[in-house]
Structure 1
Amino acid sequence: MCCAVVLAFAFGCVGVEAEETRAAFRPCIDPSNLPFANTQGEGFENRIADLFAKKLGLPVQAYAFPQRMNFIRNTLRYKLPGEDFRCDIVMSLPAGFDQALTTAPYYRSTYALVYPKGKGLDQVKSGGDLLALSADRRSKLTIGIHDKSPASIWLVKHGMEAQAKPYQMMSPDPDQYPGQIIEKDLAQGKIDAAVVWGPIAGYYAKRVRDVELVVVPLRSEPGVKFDYAIAMGVRYGEREWKETVEKLIVENQSTITGILREYGVPLVNERGEPM
């Protein structure tokens, strides 16, 4: 990736000596939010944290907190008087997220359409193909989406709001998780298709065994942004730590990309084209 080349040059002389006082690599994670992370270490954020910790010669000491409202305040910025911060890095944040000092992006993904093979949508290879279906065919579809997401904006833009079935992205119920829209309702035929964030789409489509699911990455269009660059985040003021993390990203980008592909993450370039 071109950004990796630029960073390799920019941070080629940055060492990890300034971080030798760290006793552990301490990511802020959600305790149960696959494919991103969980307390069993099964997510790709866990895997990347393990990779970085090994490179720094440190153990991993994760701090888990449900990724609901105020996640940054309750993790990265949480500190009681006389105590240390609980964790030092958030492994996945939108690039430029204003509540943390974000690194250069380490991947870009996009929302994806997911549907079961052999159920009448096999000709759909893009968002445009879905919109090109006959009005009668489209009217019979039920499409699962997460509320307040680009998917809902997209369906409204194209006159398909009646076909949308909204699901909560962040439910207060600990047994609810974003991937169940695919793993349960789509796989069981309760909905005809789903449009969700790419890492969720790819991971849960791979986990379903009873039916083959097709994942179609979606391209951004005027008025609807589907693809986003994802970075890591540290506390404001910790610029040396940020540079250390960016150097780790650059030096391990191919391994990171391999991990993301293992989890089925649809990767796209800055033009939204599949990689």
Structure 2
Amino acid sequence: MLIIMKTRLLLLLTIFSVNSVLADDHLADTKYFKVCADPYMLPMSNQNGEGYENKIAELFAEKLGLELKYEFFPQRIGFIRNTLRAESEIAKGYKCDIVMNVPSSFELAATTEPYYTTSYALVFAKGGKLDSVTDPSMLLDAAKASKEKVKIGLTDVGAAQLWVFYNGLMSYITPYQGQPGDPKANPAKTLIDDIVAGKIDATVVMGQSAGYWAKQYKDKTELVVLPIKDDPEKKIRLSYSFSMAVRYREKAWKETIDKLITQNQAEIEKILVDYNIPLIK
């Protein structure tokens, strides 16, 4: 009887030990660092690994000693459902385990601590109708003073619309689609392409796209990038913090990513600065 009791106790302890290891496991996958990403949306990410999300993912995979693997899907409606929450059809677990860049207020997944903050920015070409503008608040006066009508390209989504409205600029707007039917289309790049081509004079886009594309076009056109500050009086928020995202209830995995962010903040910031993203400290 004593031997049987000892055997059962040993079995229970073994089961408890195994479950404890599984519960404390800080990795979502023991072989791959599986990233959910957009295949076409620079400067964030693309299939060729050219975005800042790609570079930070490479850094984290190296730190964790895991092989980097992507699940690509256009980052629009259905992105989280088809990536982070989608079970893999060819292996155990999910198709991917982390999104490298979401607003910190994102509600469809658990977000890490923010790792950078940027804002919307006014972008225009130097040498054009808006050379007198050194601050976004000067845009209306410059537009009124111009002999030729100033065209400001603006998408139909986002806080930039509010800023334009409250600053009396609606009559200067040339509308663009914020989410075109073609998933390969990059709305911010389209706007900046049209500034370079002379089709419009200015636009307001998020700082990631403003800074990155200004750098890409520096040998062709000098683009002025002026970050826009929040306006508490008019209740217009134009600066946003960004985090990474994992599935809800995966506390240990989220803590691991938070530690990686903290321990590698200098390297992350170096990547963001290299992509010319205007950061708010």
Q: What is the TM-score with the length of structure 2 in the denominator?
A: 0.85
Q: Give 1:65's aligned residue.
A: 73
Structure 1: runs of 5+ lacking an equivalent: 1-15, 270-275
Instruction: Provide, for residues 133-191 of structure 1, a one-character-per-residue CA deviation record: whole Å limited to 9, x for no partner.
Output: 36343982111122121111111112211211222222121442123334420101000
Q: How many residues matched? A: 254
**1:152 pairs with one of 161, 166, 185:** 161
Cα contact 1:26–1:61 (8 A) shared by 2 = yes
Q: What is the TM-score with the length of structure 1 in the denominator?
A: 0.87
Partners in 1 of 2:186 and 2:263 — Cα distance?
33
SS at match of 2:121: strand
SS at match of 2:153: strand
Residue 94 of structure 1, CA deviation: 0.7
Q: Give 2:87's aligned residue.
A: 79
- The answer as to 2:213 corresponding to 1:213 is no
Q: C-alpha root-mean-square deviation of aligned residues, in Å?
A: 2.0
- The answer as to 2:190 corresponding to 1:181 is yes
Q: Give 1:254's aligned residue.
A: 266
Cα contact 1:182–1:205 (8 A) shared by 2 = no
Distance 1:21 1:61, change over 3 A: closer
Instruction: Provide, for residues 219-270 of structure 1, a one-character-per-residue CA deviation record: whole Å limited to 9, x for no partner.
Output: 011232110000000000001101100000001101101100111111013x
Q: Give 2:236's aligned residue.
A: 224
Partners in 1 of 2:189 and 2:70 — Cα distance?
25
Structure 2: runs of 5+ lacking an equivalent: 1-23
Alignment of 1:93-172 (within 5 A): 93-133=102-142, 135-137=144-146, 140-172=149-181
Q: Give 2:48's aligned residue.
A: 40
Distance 1:138 1:237, change over 3 A: farther
SS at match of 1:38: coil
Partners in 2 of 1:259 and 1:72 — Cα distance?
25
- Structure 1 runs of 4+ with >6 Å offset: none
**2:247 pairs with one of 235, 244, 248:** 235
Distance 1:30 1:20, change over 3 A: closer
Larger Rg, first or second structure (1 or 2): 2
Distance 1:173 1:252, change over 3 A: same
Moved more, 95-104 or 82-91: 82-91
Distance 1:173 1:18, change over 3 A: closer
Moved more, 156-165 or 189-198: 156-165
Cα contact 1:18–1:240 (8 A) shared by 2 = yes
Residue 54 of structure 1, CA deviation: 0.3
Distance 1:25 1:80, change over 3 A: closer
Moved more, 39-48 or 218-227: 218-227
Higher helix share: 2
Cα contact 1:152–1:164 (8 A) shared by 2 = no
Moved more, 137-146 or 254-263: 137-146
